[in-house]
Each structure stands twice: as structure tokens, then as C-alpha cells.
Chain A
Amino acid sequence: DIQMTQSPSSLSASVGDRVTITCRASQSISNYLNWYQQKPGKAPKLLIYTSSNLQGGVPSRFSGSGSGTDFTLTISCLQPEDFASYYCQQSHSTPLTFGGGTKVEIK
């Protein structure tokens, strides 16, 4: 199974900050990496698919990059509605696996 490791597990940031979350796969997954946002009590929402493609309706302040084993989600200018948990997920092979999540909290 492919293990997905996210870091940090949590971070505190202020509105307007640039935030970077990393995700590392235990083996190469090419660009088969998706990112989701989840707010408390809500279903996850797809932000980025295949590493760098912005899902429709997602603000352009979100971006993704990486290939192979190392990936990054960047929020260029944090907004109040971005305080949430973020998960990466590999779609290279089953079992499909998620990272442990990163909780972005208000500083």
C-alpha cells in the first residue's frame, strides 16, 4: 500500500499569509495526487486534482505542484473561509489512500 504523509499536522496562520502544506508518498505516484478541504461537520471538497489542476469554482489562490513522491498545496493569501483541514489523496493505485490531514487554524 502507498502511504501518504502530510506535514505539518497543524499550523497557525493569519489572514493574508501564504501557507504551504506538503504531502509525501511512500513510492512514486507520478502526478496522481488530489487535495481536499474539509470544514467541521461537512463533507470534503475537491480543490486540486492530478497534482496541479484547479477544480472548477475553486479560488485561484489555491495551487498545487509536485510529481513523483513530493507534493505541495499552497494558499497564496489566506482568507477567513480557508481555515479548515486539508487532505492529500493518491489515485495511483488501490487501496486509495489519504494523508493524515493538516489543520489550518487562526493565529
Chain B
Amino acid sequence: KNEVEQSPQNLTAQEGEFITINCSYSVGISALHWLQQHPGGGIVSLFMLSSGKKKHGRLIATINIQEKHSSLHITASHPRDSAVYICAVYRGQKLVFGQGTRLTINP
């Protein structure tokens, strides 16, 4: 079992839908990253969380430390949101990554 599990692995939705991507981890962590990777391969940091909830534009990230679970939500999804979304947790000095969720938003 991976230390960081994401679900779903693939998600296809229509433009405008509300999207939720989940991340569960099995180890104690100091912080959790949500990252976005576009087809060209570049990675953008969306959020870093250690507690509670953060919002940036149409993106919302929440974390429940006790349950070792985080969610990334996208409201009013748009085709440009199509990307791979990766959850990563700091364990000691390194980031441990989930396998990613491939999101496709159709117009």
C-alpha cells in the first residue's frame, strides 16, 4: 500500500461541474502539498496545508489531520483545469507523492 493514496485515478467531467479529488496518507506529516501538472510536465504548487482549509480562486483545499485526509475541490470547472493533480506529503526531509489524479474537463 502506498503511503499516499489518491482517488479517483482518473476523472472526466463536463465544464461547470464541481470536482473533488481525495488524498489519504498513512504516516504522520508536517505539511501537505497539492500540485498541478500539465501535459508539458511542469509542476505548479497550488496549496500547502498543515491544517484547516485554504481557498484560491475556484480552488479549495481542506485537510483533516486526525483522519489523515485531504481534499481538493474545483468549483465551476473549466477545460483549462484539465491536468494531473498530485497530493504530496512531507515526511521528514522529503516529499512523498501520490500517483496523481488525471482530470479531464470537457466543454
Binding between chains A and B: no
